[in-house]
Amino acid sequence: MPLLKHIDVVPDFPQKGINFYDIQSLLKKPAIWQAMIDDLSARVKAQNADIILGIEARGFLTGVPVAQILNLPFGMVRKKGKLPGEVIGQEYALEYGTDTIEIQKSLITSGARIAIMDDLLATGGTMKATGDLVRKAGGEIVISTCIIELHELGGREKLDFPFETLVQAPLNPFS
């Protein structure tokens, strides 16, 4: 499926010089979205995952339907302070400073086979932090997926666990 042609690119968002790949354009095309979810579901099923984690917030959009299709539990990876109860956190570096992501402590049992889902892989910081968080909680990452990978930014090279993407996109699709 030539998925990239269905994804709108918004220039200079959220700041000048950034080209934003907007998956809202996929959500407006139910047949394309369903084909994409079916593809992701097949990839996750092949790895025999026990639970799917979606990274806030667009990872929820792919993770929940895949979890429903595969009849698997779904868990949210959220920014610090957004989840109730006891949590496990993982700090990670940003361009200027740090941030923290969290999961509920009871979400992952020791040895659980985890699939991580998000919409886009750029520098890999959030995906790597999620992998570190999964391991801290005792889980094993069997697959991580994104709809879009900005390969030129080298995020894949930061990951030491399986990663698959549906499409590799250029940083500047307008050149």
Pairwise CA distance, residues 150 & 124, whole Å: 10
- Average pLDDT (71-84) is 98
**Are residues 128 and 134 in contact, defined by beta-carbon separation less than 8 angstroms?**
no
Instruction: Write down the pTM of the prediction.
Output: 0.95
Q: What is the DSSP string of 52-90?
A: EEEETTHHHHHHHHHHHHHT--EEEEEETT-S-SSEEEE
pLDDT, tens digit, 9 for 90 and up, residues 94-128: 777 899 999 999 999 999 999 999 999 999 999 99
14 burial class (0-12, 13-18, 19+ CB within 10 angstroms)?
Answer: exposed
Which strands sit side by side in the sheet containing 113-121, from one edge to the other? 87-94, 97-104, 74-79, 51-55, 113-121, 140-149, 163-168
Q: What is the per-residue pLDDT for 1? A: 56
CA end-to-end span of the chain: 23
Give me the pLDDT at residue 97, please. 83
**pLDDT > 70 fraction of the chain, expressed in percent and rounded:** 99
Residues 31-60 have pLDDT tens digits of 999 999 999 999 999 999 999 999 999 999
Q: For a pLDDT cut of 90, what percent of the chain falls above it? A: 91
Phi, psi of 167 (to 5 degrees): -150, 140
